[in-house]
Amino acid sequence: MGDILEELFAKFSRLRIFKARELLLPDYVPEELPHRGEQIGQLATVLSPAISGSRPPNVFIYGLTGTGKTAVTKYVLKRFSAKVSDRVITSYINCRLCNTNYRVLSELARSVDRPVPFTGLSTSEVLMRFVNGLEAKGKLMIVVLDEIDWLVKNSGDAVLYHLTRLNSELSRSKLSLIGITNDLKFMEYLDPRIKSGLGEEELLFPPYTNKELEDILRIRAEMALNNGVLEEGVIPLCAAIAARQNGDCRLALDLLLKAADIAEREGAVKVTEHHVRRAQREIEKNLVIDAIRSMPLHVKLVLLSITILNRKGNQAKVTTGEIFNKYRELCDNLGVGEVTQRRVSEIISELDMLGIINARIVSFGRYGRTKIIRLAVSPRSVVEGLKTDLSISPLLDTISTS
DNA sequence: AATCCACAGGAAGTGCTGGGCG
DNA sequence: CGCCCAGCACTTCCTGTGGATT
């Protein structure tokens, strides 16, 4: 009898937390973007020549993660293309997903109805098809290259170079670029010729303040959640955590979503600060685990070596050399071929950049110069991320028992 | 002041995959 | 079919370097 009531209650409260969960998902672009009016105005002004059919200048947008760069750009573009869809083609490309010259170009070719196989052709061939496709359309094309730094770091700036000077080759059509990055130093290591072409206009997105984040969360919570399901301190806490992370609005919304998810899963009637804390931990952990799962075998093995050495309690002296030795031992155990120390060194740098480990260069004078490496995440997360890989899970068993 | 360790990290190349094209 | 392409993980060879020791 009590069980039935409990079940009913749980079901009932599940309905109670969310009104429209999808409004909290990260790819949802809301109708209004609070506290970004200025940026919307600036971008719209820059793009306004498109209305009369002339070419807007290329724009370069920078600002930290979650400052609304992508949302504002999509928002403005959506408004524009609704107005002038007969003259303008827009294409949004996320360079983290399309992180090679070839993939960017094939994406562009696709948006001018010249689909291209995902491999096999030379990049210049794809560029030609794109240009022909665009010329056939005879329209203005606005291309958004989001997270453009990923493209350049991965594949160099060849495509950017071509795209910035493409207009001189086009007769019937025009091309405008919008580059977005959260790497504030990105412009510095760009070829000067591209820099001047891409940065005809520049927009800087400042981080959201604590107050602004709270405001955004309130508005969104009102739409996505039912009345009164949030405990008093929940929104301020989400905002405060996100404000510390450079005013990252995406994180703020994700925290709220995950906290509400947890509350709902538990059948709780209200979302509490405790749920937010747990959401925070879960987000961090999932980020790490997902990153580990998609790593190549030898990266995993190096990471495991680091984890073992860190756990053995010989703190403050885990060096590249030691990791390499441990790594070779693991390879021997598995009967797998080893990679060179050069590669291991590179893997260590990659893991450092991902924030999974901390590496700092130290010199022991006579006794050489190396890196000291420390695990920056919990060993449990590492094990969690590694254990789905059947080829190395045998190693995990021997480690946890010893 | 010179030496020399234990690497860092750049440049160029290899071998393989998974696909074109004619 | 043979040849070409891009991308990736990796190798080979390399030059560079902070600072304790000689």
Which has the closest alpha carbon to A230: A36, A24, A4, A5? A24
pLDDT at position A246 is 86
A123 within 8 A of A105, measured Cβ to Cβ: yes
Q: Which two tokens stand for residue A57?
A: 């200048």
Kindly report the number of other CB atoms within 10 A of residue A233's CB atom.
12
Report how far residue A347's alpha carbon sits from residue A342's, in angstroms, rounded to the nearest whole number. 9
Report how far residue A363's alpha carbon sits from residue A1's, in angstroms, rounded to the nearest whole number. 70
**Inter-axis angle of helices A273-293 and A249-266, to 10 degrees?**
110
Kindly report the number of other CB atoms within 10 A of residue A84's CB atom.
16
Report how far residue A344's alpha carbon sits from residue A346's, in angstroms, rounded to the nearest whole number. 5
Which residues have CB under 7 A from strand C?
Answer: A 99-103, 119-124, 154-155, 296-299, 338-340, 342-343, 346-347, 363-369
Report how far residue A148's alpha carbon sits from residue A108's, in angstroms, rounded to the nearest whole number. 15
CA of A156 to C1' of C6 (A): 14
Phi, psi of A61, rounded to the nearest 5 degrees? -115, 125
Q: How many helices (H) and strands (E) does chain A have?
A: 17, 7
Residue with CA nearest C1' of nucleotide B20: A120
The angle subtended at Cα A18 by Cα A235 and Cα A65, nearest 5°, is 45
Provide the β-strand partners of residue A371. Answer: A361
- Domains of chain A (ranges, CATH numbers): 2-17+209-291 (1.10.8.60), 37-205 (3.40.50.300), 295-401 (1.10.10.10)
Q: Which two tokens stand for residue A240?
A: 């405060």
CA of A96 to C1' of B7 (A): 32
Residue with CA nearest C1' of nucleotide B5: A368
Nucleotide lying nearest to A346, CA to C1' measure: B9
Segment A100-113, tens digit of pLDDT: 999 999 999 999 99
In angstroms, the Cα distances linking A197 to A149, A159, A304 are: 16, 13, 45
CA of A360 to C1' of C18 (A): 13
pLDDT at position A276 is 96
Flag whether the pTM goes above 0.85.
no
Burial environment of residue A326 by CB neighbours within 10 A (0 to 12, 13 to 18, 19 or more) = buried
Dihedral of the CA atoms A183, A185, A188, A191 (nearest 10)?
Answer: -10
Element (H, E) at A140: strand A140-146
β strands within A147-261, DSSP E: 174-181, 201-205
A199 within 8 A of A237, measured Cβ to Cβ: no
Q: Which bases along strand B come within 7 Å of a protein CB atom? A: 3-11, 18-21
3-state secondary structure of A272: coil
pLDDT at position A198 is 85
pLDDT at position A402 is 42
Identify the sign of the CA torsion A30, A34, A37, A40: negative
pLDDT at position A401 is 41
Which DSSP state fits A398? H
Report how far residue A190's alpha carbon sits from residue A183's, in angstroms, rounded to the nearest whole number. 12
Residue with CA nearest C1' of nucleotide B19: A120
pLDDT at position A96 is 87
A298 within 8 A of A343, measured Cβ to Cβ: yes
Low-confidence residues of chain A: pLDDT under 50: 401-402
